[in-house]
Chain A
């Protein structure tokens, strides 16, 4: 019987395999950042261990870095210590670090692909749940905790239970691909399968609706696999993938011969079967807006907010969850999405802060001004994205419209640096999680695409971007 892409990658990375034991899996690339690594390095020191493959380990700082002028000293002392600690750890253990002043600094999941570090068919881990992003290149990319980070640093391997396989087939064509984006596809998927729908599985996204997407868009899809509960998300590589990675700073020298073998090997066989399947038809999907406190609590832009009864389908916990979410979000069932007024706009994060995201958002902004009741910011995903955007003049478009234009980092996605919401503030955010307090204590997050966020900034409330001329 044929094999899925996931099974092929898994099997080619098994170091030790025994019945009723986990598989010991070899890790090709380990990405490290300042927040989930300090205790792992402490553990190595305590046990007198070295980093087994410093050449396969790459570090940057992204979670708590300031996004304001970096020539100024950092005000937050604990963040400053965490950043210094990563610098020292990388120096002590011989790990390549893109530090805060490096032109390659940025969100770890944005810089990996940009630098050609993320490769098809490889295994990638990082102490961050959104590592699933790299699956867009046909890599098996897993988010891990700090104990596992230490294990990989010490051994370049991990004991893993083999996940199940989950086919998410995206069929059809979007009628207006500038208005209905990859973010809307993945939010629709999570709305349907639920936040635990993918638990214990690796999702492979397939079908015309996926192969039509650019690499930046595919990363948005795979990025949010974890919000559907999956261990990872995968997309089989194709010519778009190979073109994207050609001639990057760290692209291997024998790249063309690698591409030849990837072309043959890295796909799911036609007779392979998956443990689970979900099909989404995107012919008629609309822009999506989350109304609650997890990414599954999402509805169409032209829909009213559902009542807890409608949302829960008779499940008492779901109903209670929806009631609590509406209370936290200060929203009422029946309110139309377009009537929701917002205070803040955040265009950023590993989900939606790549060049294409900024280009698409800028088309909405051009020649307009942010509503007087809204404060809005753009945080590019990496310094390289920032530079490319500036070369295209996008920064000017945003700043002319009264957006703030910041330095790269995770920023307001998770509220570790000073970029946070105040209690009660409502934000249209291109990030990935609308959990209570995620963007700051008491802050209210609506997950949307970059174009939806940009349009909300201009209008002061959500608008259906299908009504705008985006071509």
Chain B
């Protein structure tokens, strides 16, 4: 999976800035997407392209349980969030609906990857390659459970292993 980085070098990006409460009444995902990150970065929509990744610090997606947050980002074309850590409800929402991949990175990746870098994520090897800078970083592997939900294509397609 290849894409370019939009970097927000801060912690605690919350669901209220990802998609402000006033838009939780919007059912049309394309319209919802037009308000993504409105509370944080007015230039987001001029930057974001299909296939991009967002990189950020600790506790990404903290706050509300609104699934509108990963939905709005995924309908902007964002395929993955790379962050030092995630709030748990956002993390589960991202994989349950197969909206985007929440990828936990280490400090090396966080420091090494810059805005605009082209990145290749290989979840089978738990590896992140920075094409622009010719560097490679490790990603934290998904837990077995989350890996299976992702492989299945979401919560409703997941079936536990049969005996």
Contacts and interface: CB of A to CB of B under 8 A. Distances in A.
A36 interface: yes
Contact of A18 (B9, B20, B161): B161
B59 A195 contact: yes
B155 A147 contact: yes
Contacts of A436: 14, 16-17, 39-40
B25 interface: yes
B12 A195 contact: yes
Contact of B67 (A147, A151, A321): A147
B20 A415 contact: yes
Contacts of B25: 35, 64, 76, 78-79, 81-82, 416
A143 B161 CA distance: 27
B117 interface: no
Contacts of B58: 196, 317
B130 to A, nearest CB: 20
Nearest to B160: A21
Nearest to B59: A196
Contacts, number: 144
Interface residues of B, number: 44
| Residue from the set B62, B143, B161 with the largest chain A CB neighbour count within 10 Å | B62
Contact of B65 (A64, A82, A127, A199): A127
Given A151-B155, A435-B16, A38 B63 contact: no
Interface string B145-162: 110010000111010110
Interface in A195-216: 195-196, 199-200
A63 interface: yes
Interface stretch (B47-55, B85-93, B118-126, B133-141): B85-93
| Residue from the set B10, B21, B89 with the largest chain A CB neighbour count within 10 Å | B21
B131 interface: no
A131 B89 CA distance: 12
Interface residues of A, number: 56
B141 to A, nearest CB: 13
A145 B93 contact: yes
A294 interface: yes
A254 B67 CA distance: 38
Contacts of B9: 317, 320
Interface string B59-70: 100111111000
Interface of A: 16, 18, 20-22, 24, 35-36, 38-39, 43, 47, 63-64, 76, 78-79, 81-82, 127-129, 131, 143-148, 150-151, 159, 161, 195-196, 199-200, 226, 229, 231, 294, 317-318, 320-321, 324, 414-416, 420, 433, 435-438, 441
16 contacts: A20-B145, A39-B67, A64-B24, A127-B65, A129-B65, A145-B89, A147-B67, A147-B97, A151-B156, A195-B62, A199-B59, A294-B62, A415-B20, A433-B16, A435-B63, A436-B16
Given A129-B65, A145-B89, A320-B9, 5 more contacts: A38-B27, A64-B25, A127-B65, A147-B97, A199-B88
In the A-B complex, list the 7 residue pairs whose CB atoms are closest, starting with the nearest: A145-B93, A147-B96, A196-B59, A78-B25, A145-B67, A146-B67, A435-B16
